[in-house]
Amino acid sequence: NAGVMQNPRHLVRRRGQEARLRCSPMKGHSHVYWYRQLPEEGLKFMVYLQKENIIDESGMPKERFSAEFPKEGPSILRIQQVVRGDSAAYFCASSDNRFSGNTIYFGEGSWLTVV
Amino acid sequence: RKEVEQDPGPFNVPEGATVAFNCTYSNSASQSFFWYRQDCRKEPKLLMSVYSSGNEDGRFTAQLNRASQYISLLIRDSKLSDSATYLCVGGDSGGYQKVTFGIGTKLQVIP
């Protein structure tokens, strides 16, 4: 049973380019969460999605960031016009119901470097 | 004030030592608490849940003190493989959006 799959694992973008990070949840999971971990900082909640719905995006920056979880295919976190401050590890997690701590599983993360 | 605060460390301890981490939380409505472990450049993984009565899993003991609003993690007989960052997690009951991760406490076990 495959776990949460994220790709790419590492991504390098120049300032002003777009970054697309993909996440396939664990089989049977319909809830997806995105977290960002800046260097030397803790995990910060960004967005919570279910299929075709954004449930809570209170942690998303107001501009340049968007997320989707289409009916078919992986969830995508999109960052437009990247800046150096976007360099971070982006973790996707999934669960089979609303997060209760012990039922959330993380992907291995996507490391974005903006040069 | 951060919702969940931890001493980032690092804690450098010799193999076989006992080490304890504390984590304070500011939201008195927080109901669920957990410890996650994160290895360098890896994803966080659940280590253990924290119950009001305290709970133990092998060499690991977690405790919750609601009056003082802190949780603790005790590791006995430290192994080299325990070297990692330990993340404290607090959340409202069923409130994913209120789940907050601490910055993590880095532990380095030295031979």
Pairwise CA distance, residues B86 & B101, whole Å = 10
Contacts of A58 in chain B (CB under 8 A): 97
Concatenated DSSP letters for B89-105?
Answer: EEEETTEEEEEEE---E
Pairwise CA distance, residues A36 & A56, whole Å = 15
Stronger pLDDT, B39 or B32, i.e. the higher one: B39
Stronger pLDDT, B17 or A102, i.e. the higher one: B17
Pick the residue from chain A with its C-alpha nearest to B87. A42
Pairwise CA distance, residues B39 & A106, whole Å = 13
Contact A102 B44 (CB under 8 A): no
Contact A42 B45 (CB under 8 A): no
Any CB–CB contact under 8 A between B49 and chain A? yes
Nearest neighbour of B94 by CB, restricted to A48, A98, A109: A98
Pairwise CA distance, residues B24 & B7, whole Å = 10
Pick the residue from chain A with its C-alpha nearest to B37. A106
Q: Which of B31, B43, B55, B106 to mutate to test the interface with A (most CBs of A within 10 A)?
A: B43
Nearest neighbour of B96 by CB, restricted to A43, A48, A91: A48
Contact A58 B97 (CB under 8 A): yes
Any CB–CB contact under 8 A between B44 and chain A? yes
CB A35 within 8 A of CB A43: yes
Chain segment A42-74, per-residue pLDDT in tens: 788 899 898 889 988 989 999 999 999 999 999
Contact A108 B103 (CB under 8 A): no
pLDDT beyond 90 at B3: no
Cα distances (angstroms) measured from residue B32 to each of A51, A96, A103, A105: 26, 18, 12, 17
Average pLDDT, chain A: 90
pLDDT beyond 60 at B105: yes
- H/E stretch holding B14: strand B11-14
Nearest to A111 by CA among A6, A16, A15, A24: A6
Phi, psi dihedrals of residue B53, rounded to the nearest 5°: -85, 0
